[in-house]
Structure 1
């Protein structure tokens, strides 16, 4: 163990990582008790002046730059041995500053199931106040918002986008295809239907977890950017109490990225590790999604004409700089839908899994491992052409639509993936890139469910009332879409990509679970004074996207830290 120098900086609480959860936790602990001193350490720079983060439509331009950790996977067998790129933001605000702005919480059963796994306090009803705490939701006249499920006094400014004409047609097709229209279902926790997603954008500017920091003006919160934490310092607990944990976290060793200066910082009370899902090494779950692009017969229904001409992007950026409006003031994705596939799927892999569960008496979950009130897939469509780089320019096909073409893209996301991957250290140097193997589509049921989700989405667009006479075929025009289950499975392998929604590397679980890392109060096993608070603690992924639970985890860990500090003070008296 390293001996701490007497002249080291000392704070009551140290938060490692200024991403989505870490920034929230730092702010909430500091404002919860102004007598506590809090230090937030972020390896990257401040988000001040990062215009591409403030401009929602520029979200992909920060990838593969110094503002990104630039992770890559090992070759993925399920993706035809492709190496997948995994962006992770490296600046204050973390991925909340470079994601797609979607704030989908998941469904009620996701959290009730986590609670049922031996994690009391994490049910939907208990988590709802933490979802609401971060948010100031700005209603729109056209949207039927459920204000009982939205927050109105948090640092995170949110709203819903008005959808483009093509998305109104897509919504009509979803409803015609039997999807119940539930306008605000993604804050209500419903598991099937179609509705609108809350976005972390207001008045054309992205809102991120960095707003929690910038809007706090008390002096008991210190934020240090450009500080890379090399390790957490542990010492042996000398207590004779057998219930006491063996080790105690007492500080961190770090270095200044600008000049290499070594820094030691002590913690009087606790250290909270919010360093991100791919920085912490245990075991991992992952979401993935599939692309399919379609050409429409009326390009004016889409926004493609604003982008795919010589001066398109320049004019859009100029408009945003001057007015904070236009296509760069949002991310052009339309309505969202959740769907279960058990009523439509016809696949021997599904039937074999179903029979196996029934014969073993394992009927609490369906063949894909979901409860009956959890979705299997999430579907959405874009309002301009979007695709992954590996898909573009395939076999000489065009990279983008040309001016005058109208193209939209269907995304099908897998909920409740069964595949399990690993992340391993590549060396004893904390700055070395980890070895990331997501094991995408290694489980046949994941492939089966995604293939059925693609078939269902394709059917909605090509047969639904709103779009059947508008969709004129695939894009590029030389492509064709499958007509069989086998064909859709081949499509999934070829056209899948990461949706960057990882979880589970530091699983929250009761002591009886050998894979658990933290307890239900996010305390690391066998270590006093150390908690983990980010999406790595999730024992299962929420349905959909991970931004909303990441905010809620930051809120909840701060609440628990303050509770425990008050209990400790009372005991000491």
Structure 2
């Protein structure tokens, strides 16, 4: 029978919508997810992110097209493919961005999206264990906790940041954001607390909510300009799920791809793939933004960091397993990227323009290079927060199973390259402080031979990567490139919304999971008000 709402994608936005829309027992809601259930032990164990990065079952494991500014390298883009989406496979860092980011959205022609409007939604979504205050709530679905385990080098990194002249903070989500600290994380009682666990699981017993996993959406079905359902494939069988409203929540890669497969997008591109045009919307798949990221890596003189191989690993591993399964304590409760900060690369910056993460392990290529991770070390991530480079999501062909053509055009804007050069210097300055002296061994990357700005640029071309925050490809606004309006309705169509990180007109200065939850909370309010 027809549903009132069908939601495509059970990620950080889709799970919120499924909960909120099904709270009214009169609403019949269907949630579609291409991946399996989120019942993997590696999802529950916070440090399981190391294995989830390699998972084929619960990770889309996308790659970009060759990146011209990065020596034509293809960059790995992990995205969650399970209930909870990327909140089931990420590093659980809870940050929202700077208040200015949301005021900027409003300035771009999106009334109701300023910081004063979205702060109550952030607070409503939170169960903030440190306690409610003017920036946080403690009665929501998304649990936010202090880390139960901190590698000593992570605490050393915070002290080093202060020694380098950056302020200490206890909350990256206040009015100023600036400072260095240990991250608050989406965990509860030592386990990952992703959006599926916080929002979807409590709603699964509702008779008016249907959840379909291992179900791939092929296209949105239209009657003229009105969306009437979604054609899906499940267990080798195609069917159309009819609904009064269709909501796309597949994320910044999958939502524009599905729109194009459905005949909504740039006329010329669709014609080139033989896809019948439903609505010419040139902004679909444009405006792709992501945070470029690079690592400053040191060997560790001690033996107290994570490693994929050493003589003591069987002993430390057995102890970590015992601590986790008996007490929910120990190294397996680590989110791996425990410490970090939001800092200014130069004094004249009006707000933090760099984000830092400290990983208590040697990393290369997202940890996929296992051999590099043997031995003890630590890695300092640095990324620019508001890149000016803009990319695209295109179609490889008209087959829904074919990955999209992902082209972020990393560092294609010269200001991004120079911002990353300043970021490497800022990270090196922190790494050189006395607080890290007990751990500090040889600098592996960039390496002591890399000193001049041009040498750092060459290093960035060889090693710059990303920190998994794609947004913007179905941007919200009222200009010619906008895909959805401020109510998140697709321009020129009826019965169709996009609700996920793809609607962000500009990338916020921080991790994108919490803002995606906020977007879904706001969308649910708008939908229910109708």
TM over 0.5: yes
Residue number in structure 2 paired with 1:234: 222
1:119 aligns with 2:110: yes
Kindly report which structure 2 residues correspond to 1:14-29, keeping only aligned pairs within 5 A, or say none: 14-29=6-21
Equivalent of 1:440, from 410, 423, 431? 410
Residue number in structure 2 paired with 1:544: 510
Paired residues of 1:110 and 1:374 also in contact (CA < 8 A): no
What whole-Å deviation, never above 9, does each CA across 1:34-64 have from its counterpart, x for those lacking one? 211111111111112x111111101132334
Equivalent of 1:411, from 363, 371, 381? 381
Equivalent of 1:61, from 48, 51, 57? 51
Paired residues of 1:299 and 1:305 also in contact (CA < 8 A): no
Question: How many pairs were matched up?
Answer: 496
Kindly report which structure 2 residues correspond to 1:189-208, keeping only aligned pairs within 5 A, or say none: 189-208=175-194
**SS of 2:111 mapped into structure 1:** coil
Paired residues of 1:413 and 1:544 also in contact (CA < 8 A): no
Residue number in structure 2 paired with 1:289: 293
Kindly report which structure 2 residues correspond to 1:207-218, keeping only aligned pairs within 5 A, or say none: 207-211=193-197, 212-216=199-203, 217-218=205-206
Paired residues of 1:391 and 1:495 also in contact (CA < 8 A): no
- Of the structure 1 ranges 94-103 and 307-316, higher mean CA displacement relative to structure 2 is found in 307-316
Distance apart, 1:375 and its partner CA: 2.3
Equivalent of 1:253, from 231, 242, 248? 231
- Of the structure 1 ranges 500-509 and 69-78, higher mean CA displacement relative to structure 2 is found in 69-78
Paired residues of 2:361 and 2:373 also in contact (CA < 8 A): no
Q: Distance in 1 between matches of 2:242 and 2:366?
A: 44
Q: Distance in 1 between matches of 2:125 and 2:393?
A: 31
Larger Rg: 1
Paired residues of 2:127 and 2:144 also in contact (CA < 8 A): yes
Q: Distance in 1 between matches of 2:95 and 2:482?
A: 26
Kindly report which structure 2 residues correspond to 1:469-488, keeping only aligned pairs within 5 A, or say none: 470-475=439-444, 479-480=447-448, 482-488=450-456
Residue number in structure 2 paired with 1:328: 332
How has the CA–CA distance of structure 1 residues 481 and 171 changed in structure 2, closer, same or farther, with 3 Å as cutoff? farther
Q: Distance in 2 between matches of 1:551 and 1:133?
A: 10
Distance apart, 1:481 and its partner CA: 5.4
Distance apart, 1:557 and its partner CA: 0.8
Distance apart, 1:94 and its partner CA: 0.6
Residue number in structure 1 paired with 2:341: 337
Distance apart, 1:313 and its partner CA: 4.1
1:92 aligns with 2:83: yes
Residue number in structure 1 paired with 2:266: none
Distance apart, 1:437 and its partner CA: 1.4
1:172 aligns with 2:138: no
1:514 aligns with 2:480: yes
What whole-Å deviation, never above 9, does each CA across 1:211-243 have from its counterpart, x for those lacking one? 21111232222212122221111112xxxxxxx
**SS of 1:278 mapped into structure 2:** helix
**SS of 1:44 mapped into structure 2:** coil
**SS of 1:265 mapped into structure 2:** strand
Where in structure 1 are there 5+ consecutive unaligned residues? 1-8, 140-144, 237-246, 345-371, 565-573
Q: Distance in 1 between matches of 2:500 and 2:382?
A: 25
Paired residues of 1:105 and 1:189 also in contact (CA < 8 A): no
What whole-Å deviation, never above 9, does each CA across 1:308-357 have from its counterpart, x for those lacking one? 7441445534543343322111223333221222438xxxxxxxxxxxxx
What whole-Å deviation, never above 9, does each CA across 1:467-513 have from its counterpart, x for those lacking one? 2565243138x942532211222222222212111001101011xx1
What whole-Å deviation, never above 9, does each CA across 1:429-488 have from its counterpart, x for those lacking one? 2221111111111111111101111101101221x3422565243138x94253221122
1:278 aligns with 2:253: yes
How has the CA–CA distance of structure 1 residues 221 and 389 changed in structure 2, closer, same or farther, with 3 Å as cutoff? closer
**SS of 1:286 mapped into structure 2:** coil
Distance apart, 1:14 and its partner CA: 1.1
1:107 aligns with 2:98: yes
**SS of 1:228 mapped into structure 2:** strand
How has the CA–CA distance of structure 1 residues 219 and 409 changed in structure 2, closer, same or farther, with 3 Å as cutoff? same
How has the CA–CA distance of structure 1 residues 304 and 45 changed in structure 2, closer, same or farther, with 3 Å as cutoff? closer
Where in structure 2 are there 5+ consecutive unaligned residues? 258-284
Q: Distance in 2 between matches of 1:390 and 1:320?
A: 22
User: Over aligned residue pairs, what C-alpha RMSD do you find?
Assistant: 2.3
Q: Distance in 2 between matches of 1:472 and 1:390?
A: 20
How has the CA–CA distance of structure 1 residues 97 and 313 changed in structure 2, closer, same or farther, with 3 Å as cutoff? same
Equivalent of 1:382, from 339, 347, 359? 359
Paired residues of 1:376 and 1:414 also in contact (CA < 8 A): yes
Q: Distance in 2 between matches of 1:91 and 1:443?
A: 34
1:39 aligns with 2:30: yes
Q: Distance in 2 between matches of 1:291 and 1:199?
A: 22
Paired residues of 1:410 and 1:457 also in contact (CA < 8 A): yes
Paired residues of 1:522 and 1:532 also in contact (CA < 8 A): yes
Paired residues of 1:379 and 1:413 also in contact (CA < 8 A): yes
1:265 aligns with 2:252: no
**SS of 2:389 mapped into structure 1:** coil
Distance apart, 1:387 and its partner CA: 3.0
TM-score of the superposed pair, with normalisation by structure 1: 0.82
1:493 aligns with 2:461: yes
1:458 aligns with 2:435: no
Distance apart, 1:84 and its partner CA: 1.3
How has the CA–CA distance of structure 1 residues 307 and 263 changed in structure 2, closer, same or farther, with 3 Å as cutoff? farther
Residue number in structure 1 paired with 2:373: 400
Distance apart, 1:289 and its partner CA: 0.4
**SS of 1:410 mapped into structure 2:** strand
- Of the structure 1 ranges 130-139 and 312-321, higher mean CA displacement relative to structure 2 is found in 312-321
**SS of 1:188 mapped into structure 2:** coil
Q: Distance in 2 between matches of 1:315 and 1:164?
A: 15
Residue number in structure 1 paired with 2:263: none
**SS of 1:129 mapped into structure 2:** helix
**SS of 2:365 mapped into structure 1:** coil
Distance apart, 1:525 and its partner CA: 0.4
How has the CA–CA distance of structure 1 residues 389 and 130 changed in structure 2, closer, same or farther, with 3 Å as cutoff? closer
